[in-house]
Structure 1
Amino acid sequence: MAGKQISRSKSRIILLALSLLGFSLLIFLSSLSPLRTSSPSSPTHFHLPTSHTSFVASLEHFLTIPHSEHTLPQLDVNNLDDAIFNSESDRLYSHPYYPITLPLRVYVYNMPSKFTYDLLRLFINTYRDTSNLTSNGSPVHRLIEQHSIDYWLWADLIAPQSERLLKSVVRVHRQEDADLFYVPFFTTISFFLLEKQQCKALYREALKWITDQPAWKRSGGRDHIIPVHHPWSFKSVRRSVKKAIWLLPDMDSTGNWYKPGQVYLEKDLILPYVPNVDFCDAQCLSEINPKRSTLLFFRGRLKRNAGGKIRSKLTDQLSGADGVIIEEGTSGERGKEAAQNGMRKSLFCLSPAGDTPSSARLFDAIVSGCIPVIISDELELPFEGILDYRKIALFVSSNDALKPGYLLKYLKDIQPTHIKEMQQNLAKYSRHFLYSSPAQPLGPEDLVWKMMAGKVVNIKLHTRRSQRVVEGSRNLCTCECRPGNITNTGSTIS
């Protein structure tokens, strides 16, 4: 009996050993399987930095990281032109879709720190000074955050490639390889945080530095990107860089902020404001959408200039109406909380023009899941070549909106199924308006480069045309399209 028990014990041990060996072999073989979902390039194989959507938090982290700069010998204009010809010829004959290709190749200028890092440090060292207000009472540092697109784009472009997620753009370190050139000057910070004369002097210095670059001289600046997202920024020297690509909040065809011929969709790009309120994610929306009890909400400055004068007229017409909340407010912390709470409780959010046709409230509404009601006849929208705003917003003409009773009847007549569909589209679209570091695929930084790709061929056309025209040749080659007013603006292109 004892012998049989020992034999059984040995059999169990052998069976267990064989089982462990088989299990180990299975794990080993699965690790070699071609069906394995991860790969050496998968994000699981390297550490990605924490994603920041707060400008202040991202900037504080950014300034702690040492950044290496590539400084290569600079070619003169003629040698650079020859080098670009050789580089473009290689791409033309080796890439079947050139120049309609991604990723875009962007050269980032290594500007002196007084135009870049010094201004970022000035902001971070002073942003808690909430007593610093504009003439209308808005906190200056909050306005800078609202227009901080220059930071988000630059921070992504110069980040180590191993930490970047975007596939639409790559930074190149030789100018002859570039499709576009990025100028990392913080025009908004300098405008708001420097003394007036100091700011103007810095603008002149920046202008000289930029226009002295051989690449600028070669193209006249046509392939250079300059962030001028606040309508007051870089204003004193704009006429000298009007051929460059401007990153703008809107076009403002009223002429109050930009001179005729300075801005147009063929050349420039509209970028969204950085939202003032927190992003309401899918879980947040699933909780609050069934509880939205307010029909129409607006909180902000009720008296504005230019096209924004419609705000006071709408206030007179809508105040006190059932289901409508219209409040005077600013963009401070208390104002942010009140606006956020109001938007998350409302089906529709009023988005009238401000001093310019655009307003940050449009993007606050989008990230809050509140359907925007846009009353701004001259508004141009970000990334409209990619996004269809009719699926997430309502557009009402100023004339109709001011007709007694029109707007409320229009909103009340919208079917619940249509409202639900627009809310679902808002949940999908909101990611396109959320700046972050690292920049996310299909975020605003990504859509910038996808839109820019559509401009590259036209930029090359006008650059080469300007290089070969002779005295007496036809100089006018395009027009600025405006309803009822076709005005030739070839002098700004050619």
Structure 2
Amino acid sequence: MAGKQFPSLAHARPASPRGLLAGASLLLLVLLAASYFLLLSPSSPGLASPSSGSAADTAFLISLDRFLASPRPSSASSAASPGDLDAAIRAEEEARIYGDPGGAWPAAAGPLRVYVYEMPSKFTYDLLRLFRDSYRETTNLTSNGSPVHRLVEQHSIDYWLWADLIAPESQRLLKNVIRVRRQEEADIFYVPFFTTISYFLLEKQECKALYREALKWVTDQPAWQRSEGRDHVIPVHHPWSFKSVRRFVKKAIWLLPDMDSTGNWYKPGQVYLEKDVILPYVPNVDLCDSKCVSETQSRRSTLLFFRGRLRRNAGGKIRSKLVTELKDAEGIVIEEGTAGAEGKAAAQNGMRKSLFCLNPAGDTPSSARLFDAIVSGCIPVIISDELELPFEGILDYRKVNLFLSQYLMCIFFLIPHVLVRFC
């Protein structure tokens, strides 16, 4: 399975208490992202309802409009040089480790502390505006027939993370991660560059030029030079985003949609589970909550359902073989998918009528269909040798499989505070 073969750490720099804390407490940042999974559904109660019935009025757009209309937060401070930062961090760490000099025990560990870089607008706000302003006019499709704006939303976890991290403390949804204004106080550093939006909405050469500018800006920062990026978090949530400069930031913590060991999407040594974090895709269908699951339980007459592209490249070639083997089997529905509102409705209705949902690999090992199945109350059947599931290094998925075999749909690994019973 991908990510299991780690590069040699024999010559790695010894871990400092600061580095160990950052690595261990990164889970808190992950849980922040995971909790947003519930909010990313257009029908989410956590966000305002659309003002009209237009299909374009999604929770993502509503949130983005409000975000861009609100005043920008105040600027964060920065350190003068790596040497000055070293001295400040040492003093800060000693205070945190030893606490009160007269005490007998170290100070208790607190929440994960994140320093959020304030990058130039061309890397952040300008890209968000570009997406918002072009969303309703975007008619071009990707090679697989999906609208470009749909793929941007599908990989929008970087927006939800950043928007919450820089929001006023009273407006933030979760409190287990705090933003700090001084670099010496930080456990990790968040780089809020929207790599996916730039990849999809800019011309190829313009995008590469912006990637190079972002790379120079980040690597010029004193904190990056001090650690070579080991305590920096970079969202790379589309398999093609930031691709031309990835080799220069391979020591940083990447936020990924999956982890591919074949070399098709990530070069060997760039990604591995010891440092990187796999986050869920944003689902393409609406959330089927506990009430919905209860109502659809008796109507789940289809044993196994799949709707999507039946021919894909790379690992996705398994799809055509599955069609050959299963197309005439009783209780199984396998059909070609279509883009647009009608395609979404057909997929959503099919999943809500099915006990199991087939989840074969696509061009990449993972597929948003996995999370579409989960939020539809349909048990996903994963067919992908290379797939690494979100938080796989932390959660024991064998226990999850035990629940599923008893028709208990537990999605706590994506939404920590929601359990949906399916039996």
Q: Note the residue ranges of structure 2 that are not aligned, 5 or more in a row.
A: 1-44, 49-57
Matched, 1:370 2:356: no
Compared with structure 1, are the counterparts of its residues 274 and 193 closer, same or farther at alpha carbon in structure 2 (3 Å cutoff)? same
- Within 2, Cα distance between the matches of 1:325 and 1:116? 43
Partner in structure 1 of residue 80 of structure 2: 75
RMSD of the alignment, in Å? 2.2
- Within 2, Cα distance between the matches of 1:236 and 1:333? 34
Partner in structure 2 of residue 187 of structure 1: 195
Instruction: Pick one of 67, 90, 93 that aligns with 1:85.
Output: 90
Q: Percent identity?
A: 72
Compared with structure 1, are the counterparts of its residues 97 and 169 closer, same or farther at alpha carbon in structure 2 (3 Å cutoff)? farther
Matched, 1:61 2:45: no
* Structure 1 position 165, deviation (Å): 3.0
Which range moves more in the overlay, 298-307 or 382-391?
382-391
Q: What is the TM-score of this pair, normalised by structure 1?
A: 0.70
Matched, 1:303 2:287: no
Partner in structure 2 of residue 431 of structure 1: 415
Instruction: Pick one of 169, 181, 184 that aligns with 1:161.
Output: 169
Matched, 1:422 2:408: yes
Q: Are the equivalent residues in 2 in contact too, given 1:393–1:422 (CA < 8 A)? A: no
Partner in structure 2 of residue 149 of structure 1: 157
Q: Are the equivalent residues in 2 in contact too, given 1:246–1:268 (CA < 8 A)? A: yes
* Structure 1 position 243, deviation (Å): 0.5
* Structure 1 position 322, deviation (Å): 1.1
SS at match of 2:216: helix
Instruction: Pick one of 293, 308, 322 that aligns with 1:314.
Output: 322
Q: What whole-Å deviation, never above 9, does each CA across 1:371-423 have from its counterpart, x for those lacking one?
A: 000111111011224444345559xxxxxxxxxxxxxxxxxxxxxx9655423
Compared with structure 1, are the counterparts of its residues 311 and 147 closer, same or farther at alpha carbon in structure 2 (3 Å cutoff)? same
Q: Which amino acid aligns with 1:203?
A: Y
Q: Are the equivalent residues in 1 in contact too, given 2:230–2:253 (CA < 8 A)? A: yes
* Structure 1 position 442, deviation (Å): 8.1
- Within 2, Cα distance between the matches of 1:76 and 1:229? 31
- Within 1, Cα distance between the matches of 2:376 and 2:300? 11
Partner in structure 1 of residue 47 of structure 2: 51
Partner in structure 1 of residue 204 of structure 2: 196
Instruction: Pick one of 342, 357, 362 that aligns with 2:350.
Output: 342
Q: Note the residue ranges of structure 1 that are not aligned, 5 or more in a row.
A: 1-48, 395-416, 433-440, 444-494
Q: Are the equivalent residues in 2 in contact too, given 1:351–1:374 (CA < 8 A)? A: yes
Q: Are the equivalent residues in 2 in contact too, given 1:373–1:393 (CA < 8 A)? A: no
Q: Which amino acid aligns with 1:242?
A: K
Matched, 1:389 2:397: yes
Instruction: Pick one of 119, 125, 138 that aligns with 1:117.
Output: 125
Q: What whole-Å deviation, never above 9, does each CA across 1:192-251 have from its counterpart, x for those lacking one?
A: 000001000000000000000000000000000000000000000001101000000111
Which range moves more in the overlay, 71-80 or 143-152?
71-80
Compared with structure 1, are the counterparts of its residues 337 and 98 closer, same or farther at alpha carbon in structure 2 (3 Å cutoff)? farther
- Within 2, Cα distance between the matches of 1:176 and 1:323? 60
Partner in structure 1 of residue 218 of structure 2: 210
Matched, 1:252 2:260: yes
- Within 2, Cα distance between the matches of 1:418 and 1:114? 46
Instruction: Pick one of 116, 124, 130 that aligns with 1:108.
Output: 116
- Within 1, Cα distance between the matches of 2:381 and 2:88? 51
- Within 2, Cα distance between the matches of 1:269 and 1:342? 31
- Within 1, Cα distance between the matches of 2:306 and 2:110? 40
Q: What whole-Å deviation, never above 9, does each CA across 1:249-290 have from its counterpart, x for those lacking one?
A: 111001001111000000100000001100111111110112
Compared with structure 1, are the counterparts of its residues 430 and 344 closer, same or farther at alpha carbon in structure 2 (3 Å cutoff)? farther
SS at match of 1:171: strand
- Within 1, Cα distance between the matches of 2:223 and 2:203? 31
Structure with greater Cα Rg: 1
Q: Are the equivalent residues in 2 in contact too, given 1:144–1:188 (CA < 8 A)? A: yes
- Within 2, Cα distance between the matches of 1:418 and 1:207? 44
Matched, 1:332 2:340: yes
* Structure 1 position 65, deviation (Å): 1.1
Q: Are the equivalent residues in 2 in contact too, given 1:371–1:392 (CA < 8 A)? A: no
- Within 2, Cα distance between the matches of 1:148 and 1:294? 32
Q: Which amino acid aligns with 1:51?
A: L
Q: Are the equivalent residues in 2 in contact too, given 1:273–1:363 (CA < 8 A)? A: yes
Q: What is the TM-score of this pair, normalised by structure 2?
A: 0.81
* Structure 1 position 299, deviation (Å): 0.8
Partner in structure 2 of residue 361 of structure 1: 369
Compared with structure 1, are the counterparts of its residues 388 and 422 closer, same or farther at alpha carbon in structure 2 (3 Å cutoff)? farther
* Structure 1 position 135, deviation (Å): 2.0
Q: Are the equivalent residues in 2 in contact too, given 1:366–1:430 (CA < 8 A)? A: no
* Structure 1 position 136, deviation (Å): 2.3
SS at match of 1:351: strand
SS at match of 2:374: helix
Relative contact order (C-alpha < 8 Å, sep 6+): which is higher? 2
Compared with structure 1, are the counterparts of its residues 430 and 233 closer, same or farther at alpha carbon in structure 2 (3 Å cutoff)? closer
Q: Which amino acid aligns with 1:422?
A: L
Compared with structure 1, are the counterparts of its residues 391 and 361 closer, same or farther at alpha carbon in structure 2 (3 Å cutoff)? farther
- Within 1, Cα distance between the matches of 2:265 and 2:185? 35
- Within 1, Cα distance between the matches of 2:183 and 2:404? 50
Partner in structure 1 of residue 30 of structure 2: none
Compared with structure 1, are the counterparts of its residues 120 and 176 closer, same or farther at alpha carbon in structure 2 (3 Å cutoff)? same
- Within 1, Cα distance between the matches of 2:399 and 2:327? 28
SS at match of 1:373: strand
Q: Are the equivalent residues in 1 in contact too, given 2:255–2:278 (CA < 8 A)? A: yes
- Within 1, Cα distance between the matches of 2:277 and 2:251? 13
SS at match of 1:320: coil
- Within 2, Cα distance between the matches of 1:133 and 1:342? 24
SS at match of 2:140: coil
- Within 2, Cα distance between the matches of 1:301 and 1:202? 32
Partner in structure 2 of residue 451 of structure 1: none
Give the count of matched residue pairs.
362
Matched, 1:289 2:297: yes
* Structure 1 position 73, deviation (Å): 5.0
Compared with structure 1, are the counterparts of its residues 421 and 316 closer, same or farther at alpha carbon in structure 2 (3 Å cutoff)? closer
